[in-house]
Amino acid sequence: MKFALAGNPNCGKTTLFNALTGSTAHVGNWPGVTVDRRTGLYKKLPERVEIVDLPGIYSLSPYSPEETVSRDFLLSGEPDVIVNIVDATNLERNLYLTTQLLETDIPVVVALNMADAVEREGGRLHPEKLAEALGVPVVAISALKNKNLDAVMKAAWEAASRPRAGTCVLEDTPYRPLYERALRLYREAGKDNPVFRTVKALEGDELEQKASPELFERVAGLKKEGMPANDFGDDFEGIMADQRYTYISARLSGAVTKKEGGEKLSGSDRADRVLTHRIWGIPIFLVIMFAVFHCTFS
Ligand code: GDP
Ligand code: MG
């Protein structure tokens, strides 16, 4: 059995990977590129599980070697489940990748990481709300404090044996008719991960064009006929990005709530409040500059 760890850079993937695999970790390279490929074993389930730490990525579009190797690995059919690590202190940005992972037919479990940091700031996590909105299991964890790691592995283990079909943020939008027509073509052709591939064809994605040139042309034809009026013209990548963020802010952002009674100011916000003050800002600036020159030249 194989689990893939996927998430944005700095979401805590390596911390989680190290906590799960300990001394079994092994670092190699992805074929053909100099991107680290970390694998290791997790031994606390009835079956041995190989954990593959994918590179940190923001999308599955082929803009960087990291994104390409991650996408190829996910679509290869190798992973039995994706464990998507989401930084709960940066929820909306991290869920952007989640909406893309959910387009594949691979089972997904969301690990809502940095629960300790959110709670320390007086915020609260609502994994059950996120699970309901996304339709996949969500477990709040802290990779750093080793909290709930076995629970998220167990959820992944169970999800691996439940077949899943990809879902797409376009389902409740004016783009639905176009999306469904394109999806029908991919389904009829018997393609794997049809939702993911349909979205990529609509976006005009190069790798998908290479994979299925004929279908790609037919989807381009559907776009010419049936594109709803919008601000992006025929830039479907722009449309998708906009629709993903609209979906996230409308349906998902309530999964983490900040402390009641306004946000606590961070240290740098407090410093900004004084140093960039409307009246005192310039005098403070001049005093600091004078002090710097004085120290330098005297
Ligand atoms: P990666 O880029 O996804 O591999 O992220 P890392 O594992 O390198 O973690 C990035 C930073 O987040 C490091 O400073 C970690 O110590 C920190 N971090 C990871 N997990 C947690 C967590 O659960 N709670 C807190 N507070 N910090 C974490
Ligand atoms: Mg890392």
Q: Measured from the CB, is residue 284 less than 6 Å from ligand 1?
A: no
pLDDT at residue 181 greater than cutoff 90: yes
- Model confidence pLDDT, tens digit, residues 63-115: 899 999 999 999 999 999 999 999 999 999 999 999 999 999 999 999 999 99
The preferred substitution site among 94, 144, 152, 256 for testing ligand 1, maximizing ligand atoms within 8 Å of CB, is 144
Q: Measured from the CB, is residue 89 less than 6 Å from ligand 1?
A: no
Two structure tokens written together for 205 = 């994605």
Which atom of ligand 1 is nearest to 7's Cα? 3
State mean pLDDT over 10-34. Answer: 91
How many of the other CB atoms lie within 10 Å of CB of 215? 20
Q: Measured from the CB, is residue 116 less than 6 Å from ligand 1?
A: yes
Determine the 3-state secondary structure of 83 from DSSP. Answer: strand
pLDDT at residue 162 greater than cutoff 90: yes
- Model confidence pLDDT, tens digit, residues 27-36: 889 988 889 8
CB 55 within 8 A of CB 4: no
| pLDDT tier for residue 224 given thresholds of 50, 70 and 90 | very high
Distance, CA of 137 to CA of 48 (rounded, Å): 21
State mean pLDDT over 39-59. Answer: 95
| pLDDT tier for residue 144 given thresholds of 50, 70 and 90 | very high
Please give the share of the chain, as a percent, with pLDDT higher than 70: 98
Distance, CA of 81 to CA of 38 (rounded, Å): 17
Q: Measured from the CB, is residue 10 less than 6 Å from ligand 1?
A: yes
Longest dimension (CA), the chain: 80
Q: Measured from the CB, is residue 140 less than 6 Å from ligand 1?
A: no
pLDDT at residue 40 greater than cutoff 90: yes
Predicted pLDDT at 234: 87
Give nearest CA residue, ligand 1 atom 9. Answer: 12
Which amino acid is it at 85? I
State mean pLDDT over 185-199. Answer: 98
